Chains A and B, each alone.
Chain A
Amino acid sequence: MSTVLNTNTEEARAGSPTSSAARTRGFGSRLRRLNIPAGMGGWLWLAIIIIPVYYVVITSLKTQEGYFGQNPLALPTSPTLENYQLVIEANFARYFMNSAIVTIGAVAPAVLISFMASFAIVRGSGRFLKLVNGMFLMGLAIPLQATIIPIYLMIIRLNLYDSLLALILPSIAFAIPLTVLILSNFIRDVPNELFESMRLDGCSEWQIMWRLALPLTRPAIVTVAIYNGLHVWNGFLLPLVLTQSPDLRVLPLALWTFQGEYSVNIPAVLASVMLSTLPILVLYVVGRRQLLSGLTAGFSK
């Protein structure tokens, strides 16, 4: 590898002083030099990631006989959708709806009220707003799971135990700190002149917020909505602790109980895994870039 390294450096050294085009080629060769070991590592990691995914996909399409008879990594000889049918008949549409209601019910208000708070924190001033901002920042370090017992107590006392609202309310609260952080960083980047010109046109702050800040903040709003949406969609502890009736299960909880009930029918269990992931997979195929930037929620900035 060191010889490859040296020749490439020679190339780059010879090329760089002449023109900027050659310089970019030099930069490309820097990356190319890592090729062999990096490529090997890259493909190895791909195998680690893809084999479990592949296993889930093919097994979910196998019959019970196929599962017991075939090589586990072989493609199904007679692919079937009967596992999916079984899962759908096990009330999965209901669980799907529950997950959708909880996710939308939590994320939409969380983003809306966080946006209003962020606008105030950026545009306003005074001790009170500083205090509020500081409190939200502190909230970033609180692990949600540690507050589950008092939340359980409160939900019981509010007569909300075993309802979807019980999942929505705490989810809203826990989405706020990060959402406010990201949205306020974004609003801060809006040029002040834009706000000023609207203000000189006689607009109230309320109008400025909806007509100027909201449209300009749209990319960040999509980002945080995706991030929070995935967290709520995949959340497990709140539904586990705060609901009880089978009819109110959300998908992760349904997966878990399904796995307990159908432990002998692995293809069906894996079909349920596939079905619960499908909407997010569709989102990934349709808007990968936005989904990925939403996933890190601006941490990579």
Chain B
Amino acid sequence: MSNTVSTSPRTAVTRGESLQTEKRKAALAWLTVPALFFFLVFAVVPLAGVFILSFANWDGIGSIGVAGMDNWLAVLADPGLYNALGLTFLIMIASWLVQTPISLLLGVFTAGSQRYRAALAVLYFLPLLLSSAAVAIAFKALLDPNFGLATGLGLPFLAQDWLGVPHLALGLVIFVIAWQFVPFHTLIYQGGVRQIPKSLYEAAEIDGAGTIKQFFHITLPQLKYTIITSSTLMVVGSLTYFDLIFVLTGGGPGNSTRILALDMYLRGFRANLMGPASVIAVILVVIGLALALLLQRLGGKDKHGSQLEGL
């Protein structure tokens, strides 16, 4: 190779080299094979499988038969589906409405330079370390009417049958989800706030803009993409609150907290109706993809360019 470099004209070298580079670059494709293999086998194939199984009869143990459109017709005619759909969206929207303002404000708060804020932040993030099962179990104990928080704080109104009354259980689920996930989104907002150029605030100070004005005219617009990222994760993630709700309420009382993911699990692995459960799974996939695309559309593409505009 060094010979070619010294003897041939420059253009020939680059052409020869670029051809060689092309080859090298194409050969790199082999490096993706292991990852591709795992992803195809355990993600793409199951994804296709869930569509196929939604047209099949299977009890989870025996042989698999053809069901045609039966599962779809049965599930679509089942009021249970609409209950689960409604609950999923209700919890999704309520979670977004509760978590976004709290995480945003806490993100701004913990991004501040004061020492005590940093100390508080260390404690704020503790829920991130716990598994959903642990969180659910802790709250079940905490809400015991006799030996929990109600007695501890001397607040009788906390001594409710939280897991026995439908609307209370739903409220509880939304609260516990917030308790578990606000720290994560706080962390995201904290990172977002720290990236806002300080010069923007300095300019606003010179112009005499107050704190509230600065928040609405600088912080909030500058966090646009952080809000979209956080909201996407929150909304798509809300489809997967399965483990927390499963351990906390099991979907009850009645079906009052039976969200789609739980409905899928209970139909498939408790009622042994894998076909109808796969129909629910397909619906989950479609909703997940649609929401992700929608939020991406809202976000636009030119992330970095627009974040720095106004500088």
Mark A residues whose CB is within 8 Å of B: 2, 5-6, 9, 12-13, 16-17, 23, 26-28, 30-34, 38, 41-43, 45-46, 48-53, 55-56, 59, 67-68, 71-74, 110, 113-114, 116-117, 119-121, 123-126, 128-129, 132, 135-136, 139-154, 169-170, 172-174, 176-177, 180, 205, 209, 230, 233-237, 241, 251-253, 255-256, 259, 266, 269-270, 273, 276-277, 280-281, 284, 288, 292, 295-296, 299-301
Residues of A within 8 A of B130 (CB): 234, 273, 277
Known: A34-B211, A59-B141, A276-B131. A300 touches B53 (CB 8 A): no
A277 to B134, Cβ gap below 8 A? yes
Q: Is B147 close to A, CB under 8 A?
A: yes
Known: A49-B126, A114-B35, A139-B39. A41 touches B109 (CB 8 A): yes
In the assembly, what is the distance between CA of A51 and CA of B31, in Å?
49
Q: Is B46 close to A, CB under 8 A?
A: yes
Known: A150-B45, A154-B45. A259 touches B137 (CB 8 A): yes
In the assembly, what is the distance between CA of A175 and CA of B165, in Å?
38
Is the contact region of chain B dominated by helix, strand, or loop, or is it mixed? helix
Residues of A within 8 A of B49 (CB): 147, 149-150, 153-154
B35 to A205, Cβ gap below 8 A? no
Closest residue of B by beta carbon distance from A12: B205
Residues of B within 8 A of A26 (CB): 202, 205
23 A–B contact pairs at CB < 8 A?
A: A12-B205, A34-B112, A42-B117, A45-B124, A49-B179, A55-B152, A110-B38, A116-B31, A117-B31, A124-B25, A128-B29, A141-B236, A141-B288, A146-B282, A150-B278, A170-B46, A172-B42, A173-B39, A205-B28, A236-B243, A241-B265, A255-B131, A269-B141
In the assembly, what is the distance between CA of A65 and CA of B48, in Å?
55
Q: Is B128 close to A, CB under 8 A?
A: yes
B184 to A237, Cβ gap below 8 A? no
Residues of A within 8 A of B148 (CB): 55, 72
Mark B residues whose CB is within 8 Å of A: 22, 24-32, 34-36, 38-39, 41-50, 52-53, 58, 60, 102, 105-106, 108-109, 112-114, 117, 120, 122-134, 137-142, 144, 147-149, 151-153, 179, 183-184, 187-192, 198, 201-202, 205-206, 208, 210-211, 214, 226, 229-230, 233, 236, 239-240, 242-243, 246-247, 261, 264-265, 268-269, 274, 277-278, 281-282, 284-285, 288-289, 292-293
A142 to B43, Cβ gap below 8 A? yes
Task: Give the residue of A32, A52, A136, A148 whose beta carbon is less than 8 angstroms from that of B39.
Answer: A136
Known: A30-B214, A50-B123. A270 touches B31 (CB 8 A): no
In the assembly, what is the distance between CA of A9 and CA of B128, in Å?
38
Known: A143-B239, A241-B269, A266-B141. A149 touches B53 (CB 8 A): yes
A120 to B138, Cβ gap below 8 A? no
Residues of B within 8 A of A230 (CB): 128-129
In the assembly, what is the distance between CA of A232 and CA of B149, in Å?
31
Residues of A within 8 A of B246 (CB): 236
Residues of B within 8 A of A292 (CB): 125, 128, 187
Return the 4 tightest CB-CB contacts between A and B, nearest first: A300-B191, A150-B49, A124-B28, A173-B42
Task: Say how far B92's CB is from chain A's closest CB, in angstroms.
Answer: 13
In the assembly, what is the distance between CA of A149 and CA of B216, in Å?
46
Task: Say how far A116's CB is from chain B's closest CB, in angstroms.
Answer: 4
Known: A116-B31, A123-B28, A153-B53. A266 touches B144 (CB 8 A): yes
B117 to A9, Cβ gap below 8 A? no
Residues of B within 8 A of A144 (CB): 240
A27 to B205, Cβ gap below 8 A? yes
B36 to A173, Cβ gap below 8 A? no
Closest residue of A by beta carbon distance from B203: A16
Known: A153-B49, A251-B131. A145 touches B31 (CB 8 A): no
Residues of B within 8 A of A174 (CB): 42-43
In the assembly, what is the distance between CA of A209 and CA of B210, in Å?
52
Residues of B within 8 A of A153 (CB): 49, 53, 58, 274
Task: Give the residue of A176, A252, A281 whose beta carbon is less than 8 angstroms from that of B133.
Answer: A252
Task: Say how far B10's CB is from chain A's closest CB, in angstroms.
Answer: 16
Task: Say how far A125's CB is from chain B's closest CB, in angstroms.
Answer: 4
Task: Give the residue of A149, A176, A233 whose beta carbon is less than 8 angstroms from that of B38.
Answer: A176
Known: A151-B46, A292-B125. 15 other contacts (CB 8 A): A16-B205, A46-B124, A52-B139, A74-B152, A110-B38, A135-B39, A143-B236, A148-B281, A150-B50, A154-B41, A169-B41, A172-B42, A177-B39, A180-B35, A300-B187
